[in-house]
Amino acid sequence: MKHWFLALAVGFGSLTPAAMAASKIHVLILDGESAAPYHNWAAETPVLKQELEETGLFDVEVLTIQKDGDFSQFHPAWSKYQAVVLNYDAPDERWSSEVKSSFEQYMKNGGGLVTIHAADNAFPDWVAFNEMTGIGGWRGRTEKAGPHWVYKDSKLVADDKPGRAGSHGLRLPFQLTVRDANHPITKGLPKQWMHQGDEMYANMRGPGKMTVLATAYSDPENHGTGFDEPMLMVSQFGKGRIFHSTLGHDVMAISSEDYVVTFQRGVEWVATGKVTQPVPASFPTANSVSYRTDLAAKDPHYSKGLNPMDGPPPMRPAPQPTPQK
């Protein structure tokens, strides 16, 4: 049977439900699909919800729409929310033109969008969505989607060489560098910090039109491009604000303290245009990783350490000599 469902998750304190709802920022996390099983949205979403709710600023609903669902009944009331978080990656045909148009209108009217990691892989031919995210990868994207954008000589530069969009190396820790220290999301963060082991996206292509908040060097020794690649970005679509984070391959990655902080601040900024949250003392430094063990323990592979796909490649067995008769 085809299905789709809405899961409501709101935490209440001492205030009445009505007062609580009126005082908090209303957020929708949308999940339910990814191009591959290694993007485990079902494991990530509860952690994302916890990260938002623990600030006391947000009430959060989760809308799960799986690819075999009845999309004839999928008509989200976007205007109920000050921010929509996409932990979601689907092909162009998944949403009807009416749903896409309604989301475009929501953003033009001043909505807020946050895209996480593989969400920027979604909807390769939806022009407005690619304008919102600025860059994306995979799902058949090539130079036709736009140039490969890199950060060079203190500015965003278009690399017009042809090629496929999207690449990453092994899931290792890497250093981020702030490129816009005055933006509310990055204001007060250290100039550089280390991020927990994650897929570092590179070779991302699109129309651009974004402001880069932070980059990371894509090391050729880890299958990288040799460029400083955009990691955290913001953009505008009509009156709407977008925060685009390429970080967050799995629960281990989103447990990194820098991820938690930039995600919380990014959602507040797209919803309100400002950030009121202080930078915690536990924020990582230029030389040390800092992550939340309480969140990392929720990863299904936590006890195994790194994702098995990031281990050393298997050795091809040596050919066996032909037995002599």
**Does residue 143 contact residue 206 with C-beta atoms inside 8 Å?**
no
Q: Is the pTM of this model over 0.85?
A: yes
* 18 alpha-carbon distance from chain centroid: 31
Amino acid occupying residue 33: E
Tell me, yes or no, whether 45 lies in a domain: yes
Cα separation, 136 vs 147, in Å, equals 11
Per-residue pLDDT of the chain (325 residues; tens, 9 = 90+): 333 433 333 333 344 554 455 689 999 999 999 998 889 999 999 999 999 999 999 999 999 999 988 899 899 999 999 999 999 999 999 999 999 999 999 999 999 999 999 999 999 999 999 999 999 999 999 999 999 999 999 999 999 999 999 999 999 999 999 999 999 999 999 999 999 999 999 999 999 999 999 999 999 999 999 999 999 999 999 999 999 999 999 999 999 999 999 999 999 999 999 999 999 999 999 999 999 999 999 998 887 765 544 544 444 344 455 445 4
* CA–CA–CA angle 284, 248, 182 (5° rounding): 55
Cα separation, 82 vs 89, in Å, equals 21
The whole-number pLDDT of residue 11 equals: 35
Tell me, yes or no, whether 322 lies in a domain: no
The whole-number pLDDT of residue 224 equals: 95
Cα separation, 109 vs 228, in Å, equals 34
Number of domains in the chain: 1
Range(s) of the domain holding residue 227:
5-303
The whole-number pLDDT of residue 313 equals: 41
Cα separation, 268 vs 309, in Å, equals 34
Cα separation, 115 vs 263, in Å, equals 10
Cα separation, 237 vs 222, in Å, equals 35
Cα separation, 35 vs 180, in Å, equals 32
Main-chain dihedrals φ then ψ at residue 207, nearest 5 degrees = -75, -10
Q: What is the CA radius of gyration of the chain?
A: 20
Tell me, yes or no, whether 162 lies in a domain: yes
CA dihedral angle for residue 54, residue 60, residue 63, residue 64, rounded to 10 degrees: 10
Tell me, yes or no, whether 311 lies in a domain: no
CATH number of the domain encompassing residue 97: 3.40.50.880
Tell me, yes or no, whether 325 lies in a domain: no
Q: From start to end of 65-210, where are the E strands? A: 83-86, 112-116, 148-152, 155-159, 172-178, 192-198
The whole-number pLDDT of residue 309 equals: 47
How far is CA 281 from each of CA 96, 192, 257, 258, 290, rounded to the nearest angstrom? 45, 15, 10, 11, 11
The whole-number pLDDT of residue 310 equals: 54
Tell me, yes or no, whether 315 lies in a domain: no
